[in-house]
Structure 1
């Protein structure tokens, strides 16, 4: 058909009362064009008219009447009181047993109340999606259209929209994504015939669109992974700190043991600085006589200084000075052993005992032998 023929037929249907124009077509405003672009993803400049088929007023007059109840008729029943067959039957027939109601073999178990978290989640959804009753509720838990909050809980449980899988924000975001992927334009609450049924239909689309874990479940999983990582890092830091503390304690113990052993080997000084100076003076006088040390040669001064250092090591090692000033001979005794040093022509003459001397003392005596 041509466009003109279709237009003529449409006007004829409206004249006959078989069709009516609900919304007249028009060009869209810029805001409506942008909303249409967001809704179905393509460019739309105009909207077509919306028409509906109707029934003419002349065809709507229908007489209504009630059908009779089962077993009741208007005709007079056939009188069988004088029938010998019926009389004989009434005399010999056994009385009918009384009707008893069938009892349920398995009584319904009492239904447990839903979790408080699910009920609160359902109320938040009802308030945000316009499902709650606008006026004062006549019954507890009333929704729009006289529905009960339990029906919304049933819908949420059917499509697995629970607080552990969704929050109000993630539900709104994922529902918008599901409707956009299905190219479904959201409707206002005034355009919905049944708000609760329309919301259940949208949740069905969301349930079909959702594959795998939801955004809320992914957030919980990532949060749990971060918490486990922080706990593991804290445990590793504690182990590392314990190891460092143990290493520091071991180092401190080793250092204390080393110094304790070193101090036990060295004999503490039993003389004061004044007595030490007097002992050195006696040693120098024994070696060079009563003259001043600075009047002698440099080599002799160096030699006397080495013997003075040896005297200090011997005293620290437990040797006792026993100098013979008349013979100009420096002597040290240690039990039955005696160490003697005498200067002859500015050269030392050392008489060593027959025992092993400590390393510092042996090294100094070896240097004195080398200067002979």
Structure 2
């Protein structure tokens, strides 16, 4: 019972974390691996039959089929073993049986690498070039690869072995409850992200915003000026909505982001936010901002109602600076 409680806690926390992490770092490889692992276990016999008839299926799903065969004859170890699996590196390197199990999951890290490499190459040609070169891409690519590989080891093994263990013991009600907890956890995270009025871009997008702004500052400033003009136009036409913290939503923000896409990529434009003074303020101002290269140094540009640009942090209202410091924070508007 104690182990099942641990599994429940894990499934209550991890799907939430995975959803949040997936919004920060591409997690396609890790998610595909989880689906493949569970699919191979539940449909192992059917896949084995097709693999015998069609050799190419066996070659493609060789690792997944080996996963199903292994756990069909060997029950998974205690849950905490898989939770702390990465820390047990010396053990599963020396012990033959543990090494064999680790070798099964090695195939999933290879799948992760292939997926990350393919999607990364596509992103390089579609969102990095021509302003950004190979170096910033390789940095973000390397970080993403490490995070996804660790996610496979730290998330894939406890989740899949939990499902396998309960299924083998025919504890179907507990298995359903476990999966239900996981679904609720993921749904809660999705709900929180969906109901944010402030942006929560991926780490890669945040980095590209800063790098692209620094790469061609004249074009970046021109796009930001046009965005502020579009936002001011919407405000004067009363097509704007102001939150309690001063951030803008609605048509004004949409028009500003549309103007930004003349230079920034679409996801980068969506990383920008707008802050404005209240209607009654005597010195109306709008501030366009996004998280910068370092904490506390956002990419920003302000504009007064008459079109005067505000480029120095000390000239930005204190309330706006406070909001800018929380750019990209998950709890920024919760």
Q: State whether TM-score is above 0.5.
A: no
Give the TM-score normalised by the residue count of structure 1. Answer: 0.20
In proportion to residue count, which structure has more helix? 2
Higher RCO (C-alpha 8 Å, min separation 6): 2
- The structure number with the bigger radius of gyration is 1
Give the TM-score normalised by the residue count of structure 2. Answer: 0.21
